Structure 1
Amino acid sequence: MQAMFNHWRRWLAAHDRARDTLPAAVVLFVALWATAVPSDGHGWTWPRPAELGWITLACVPLVFRSRAPLVVAAVVTVLEVLARAATGTQALVPGASLVAVYTVASLRPRRTAWITAATVAVAVAATAVGVGLGDQSGVATSVLVRIDLVLLAAGLGDAVRSRRAKLALVEQRAVLAEQTREEEARRRVTEERVRIARELHDVVAHHITLVNAQAGVAQHLVRTDAEKAYRALGAIKETSRAALEELRATVGLLRQADDSPPSLAPAPGLEDLDGLVDGFRRTGMTVDVTRTGAARPLTPATGLAAYRIVQEALTNTHKHAGSATAHITLVYGPDTLRLTVADDGDGTARPGPGTGHGLIGMRERATAFGGTLTAGTSPRGGFRVHAELPLPAPKGNR
């Protein structure tokens, strides 16, 4: 039974004309039945032709009630008023006008609906008084009943409209929530993709640069100093191993399921700076480090950003400045770490135009934690990278 009801409901929802015609047919049947049964309840008679014609005429506009509800309400009300005035009987129930008022209330704003209902109620009441027969109490009761019916139709229509609006709002919020979740997911995927690309660039650029430099040293010494060439090859082996480990850890992030535990390998930080500098020194590059101020530990994320900035700056110096000397300066302020990597090269060793990804990555790392980064040629010659990263507040000041 419920399945059949749902089937017809869906069918009526897809056919506007049938949905609008059904109430008109019901009203026509009820009106004919009311006029066919005598007031004493005995016997049954056919409606008079005039009554039959007016009843049918008043129901016809309901077929178009969804397209023009206000126009249909006005036409139906006028036809019912004319029908009562022409037939001079109270038997005609205001069924068509009730359906019209309900339609207006369910499809139009509340203010418009109640103004329409009040107008129809006044017209129906006035018509009932004008054709009233018998004692005044019977007329008064008939008038009140008709007004109540009109107001009830308006209330039902308003309730249906409110329910539709509420359901539409709930559906809109659900769609918006789904879109927001999708956008948030896409944003997180994009951020993770950029982060992994940045990590891959830093790891590959750094280690391949070191391998290239150590291979050049080994090639130069293999015929003149076999011992040094052997040590250079050993350095290539260690650098390659470190590169593979970092690549394996970074690429492993792409293969993890959403609920996989994070890698237990510690991320590099400024405490690993000496090892990074030693790697470049083994390639023959001169690097000096100056620390100023009371050093204190950074957060793991900020420490990784500082490490990668120094790593990328030294890699660029080695690729583009030849045998220049690199100067690393760390200045610990009250709430800021000022990090500078400068070289005294002239750029003559530049092998070709760079992609610019290194500078972009360094700047993104700094700004991701509320810091800043500038890069460019130094007034004294060479290239200079300067970053300022926020430091966590000392424990005593928290």
Structure 2
Amino acid sequence: MSTLERARCRLKAHPLALDAAIAAGALVCMVVGSFVEPNGENGVSWGVRTPDHVSLLLITIGAAALVRRRRAPRAVLAVTGTVSLVEVVTGDPRAPVAISAVIALYTVASITDRSTALRVGLLTMTVLTGAAMLAGPLPWYAQENLAIFAWTGIGATAGDAVRSRRAVVQAIRERAERAERTREEEARRRVAEERLRIARDLHDVVAHHIALVNVQAGVAAHVMDRRPDQAKEALAHVREASRSALNELRATVGLLRQSGDPEAPTEPAPGLSRLEDLAGTFRSAGFRVDVARADQGTTLPAAVDLAAYRIIQEALTNVQKHAGRDAKAEVSVVRVGPNVEVTVLDDGPGVDDAPQAGGGHGLLGMRERVTALGGTLTTGPRYGGGFRVHAILPVKTRTAASGERV
């Protein structure tokens, strides 16, 4: 920080000291000006005229009033304007008491609005200039009278310019602060969305594979003594399900790695291309799952593809947990106009055993996925028994559409 900037900071920290210094400077200028004759033989003559005691008193009052110019600007302007008016009417030769009025007018214009500065400035100029021309000791066309008009106008204009600059700087500072707050809020929102997305992925992965492991382990325990070969097959499915769970967990947790951590898995996120494999894991657990696709080979955005896969995975997991081993599930993926409709039906025992939104995070997670993509999700019991999950997902998400426009 330079010496000038340090001095400016100190003055801003002590405004009364600054005003006292300005008042002292104005006092010196007025006293010196009262001894100068601007129209002397050599241009400017010193000591040709000497101010009287009334002029010196008025000078002192005007300068002393400037010490309070920040705390009571209009009162100070009234005092300095009054002493200036008295001086221009009675002084002979005149002292430049109007300097104090010019400084006070500048202060008022710099802290008020433009209309107030205009009204006060015009009033001050009119009163002082008119009094000097009409009632002063000099001719109305004297340059001293015109100087009063010019300096009061300059004071009002300079004060309004300073006020405008302060307003612009303040507006720029407020916009910068607002932009900073907006960036922080956007960052927090993105972090919250990412945490929610990872939580949904972890729930879907764990719920699906642990449910399969639970079913296969139960089968193995049930047939261990009587049919060892079937128990061995069930344990193989348990091993496969647990391996798949570990792989997907590793891929999900890999998103949380820092840049210096070991490289995360590069396997693509699951999508509808793995729908038959997903259905096969349920069939191997003894459930009947039929898959029908009429999406005409549509290439979906990665977010939509993953959401459709996770919705089917969670819906089949709910069938497995709530509908019983004898239930049958039907999965359909259909392209309808600009959307892809995903439906999962089962013929389980009915409403009593159907998954409820308050019983876990499965249905909530599905709804959050669909809503984030701008789609709709409908879930509920079917007439005559069973449960229905129906999701409508837009093929072109809002993010993808904005990217195409760019």
Same fold? TM cut 0.5 = yes
Partner of 2:201: 199
- Looking at structure 1, the residues matched to 260 and 194 of structure 2 have their Cα atoms a distance apart, in angstroms, of 13
Letter in 2 for 1:48: D
Answer yes or no: is 1:340 the counterpart of 2:340.
no
- Looking at structure 1, the residues matched to 295 and 239 of structure 2 have their Cα atoms a distance apart, in angstroms, of 37
- Looking at structure 1, the residues matched to 301 and 262 of structure 2 have their Cα atoms a distance apart, in angstroms, of 23
Partner of 2:365: 361
Q: Is the 8 A contact 1:31 1:93 kept in 2?
A: yes
- Looking at structure 2, the residues matched to 209 and 328 of structure 1 have their Cα atoms a distance apart, in angstroms, of 19
Percent identical among aligned pairs is 45
- Looking at structure 1, the residues matched to 260 and 192 of structure 2 have their Cα atoms a distance apart, in angstroms, of 15
Q: Deviation at 1:329? A: 2.5
Match of 1:314 among 298, 313, 316: 316
Cα displacement string for residues 192-240 of structure 1 (whole angstroms, at most 9, x for unaligned residues)? 1111001000000001001111111111121111111111111111111
Question: Using a 3 Å threshold, how does the CA distance of structure 1 residues 170 and 225 change in structure 2: closer, same or farther?
Answer: same
Match of 1:120 among 121, 124, 129: 124
Spell out the pairing of 1:372-391 with structure 2 (5 A cutoff). Answer: 372-391=376-395
Question: Using a 3 Å threshold, how does the CA distance of structure 1 residues 352 and 3 change in structure 2: closer, same or farther?
Answer: closer
Partner of 2:158: 156
**Matched position secondary structure for 1:297:** coil
- Looking at structure 1, the residues matched to 215 and 75 of structure 2 have their Cα atoms a distance apart, in angstroms, of 88
Spell out the pairing of 1:128-139 with structure 2 (5 A cutoff). Answer: 128-130=132-134, 132-133=136-137, 136=139, 139=141
Q: Deviation at 1:353? A: 9.5
- Looking at structure 1, the residues matched to 213 and 226 of structure 2 have their Cα atoms a distance apart, in angstroms, of 20
261-270 vs 304-313, which moves further? 261-270
Partner of 2:15: 16
Question: Using a 3 Å threshold, how does the CA distance of structure 1 residues 99 and 362 change in structure 2: closer, same or farther?
Answer: same
Q: Please, which runs of 5 or more residues in structure 1 have no aligned partner? A: 394-398
4+ long deviations beyond 4 Å: 37-40, 42-47, 130-134, 258-263, 347-354
Partner of 1:232: 234
Q: Is the 8 A contact 2:290 2:329 kept in 1?
A: yes
User: What TM-score do you get using the length of structure 2 for normalisation?
Assistant: 0.88
Q: Is the 8 A contact 1:319 1:350 kept in 2?
A: no
- Looking at structure 2, the residues matched to 260 and 268 of structure 1 have their Cα atoms a distance apart, in angstroms, of 22
Q: Is the 8 A contact 1:319 1:349 kept in 2?
A: no
Cα displacement string for residues 341-372 of structure 1 (whole angstroms, at most 9, x for unaligned residues)? 12121267789996431101111222222321
Answer yes or no: is 1:91 the counterpart of 2:90.
no
Letter in 2 for 1:227: D
Partner of 1:35: 34
Q: CA RMSD in A?
A: 2.8
Q: Deviation at 1:380? A: 1.7
122-131 vs 373-382, which moves further? 122-131
**Matched position secondary structure for 2:341:** strand
Spell out the pairing of 1:39-78 with structure 2 (5 A cutoff). Answer: 41=45, 43=47, 47-78=51-82
How many residues are treated as equivalent by the alignment?
390
Q: Deviation at 1:337? A: 2.5
Q: Is the 8 A contact 2:55 2:95 kept in 1?
A: no
- Looking at structure 2, the residues matched to 328 and 3 of structure 1 have their Cα atoms a distance apart, in angstroms, of 74
Answer yes or no: is 1:105 the counterpart of 2:70.
no
- Looking at structure 1, the residues matched to 268 and 91 of structure 2 have their Cα atoms a distance apart, in angstroms, of 96
202-211 vs 262-271, which moves further? 262-271
Question: Using a 3 Å threshold, how does the CA distance of structure 1 residues 241 and 252 change in structure 2: closer, same or farther?
Answer: same
Partner of 2:274: 272
Match of 1:329 among 328, 332, 336: 332
Q: Is the 8 A contact 1:295 1:332 kept in 2?
A: no
- Looking at structure 2, the residues matched to 125 and 143 of structure 1 have their Cα atoms a distance apart, in angstroms, of 6
- Looking at structure 2, the residues matched to 260 and 122 of structure 1 have their Cα atoms a distance apart, in angstroms, of 81
Q: Is the 8 A contact 2:19 2:67 kept in 1?
A: yes
Question: Using a 3 Å threshold, how does the CA distance of structure 1 residues 36 and 110 change in structure 2: closer, same or farther?
Answer: same
**Matched position secondary structure for 1:246:** helix
Question: Using a 3 Å threshold, how does the CA distance of structure 1 residues 245 and 125 change in structure 2: closer, same or farther?
Answer: same
Question: Using a 3 Å threshold, how does the CA distance of structure 1 residues 259 and 390 change in structure 2: closer, same or farther?
Answer: farther
Q: Deviation at 1:86? A: 3.9
Q: Please, which runs of 5 or more residues in structure 2 have no aligned partner? A: 398-406
Match of 1:175 among 174, 177, 195: 177
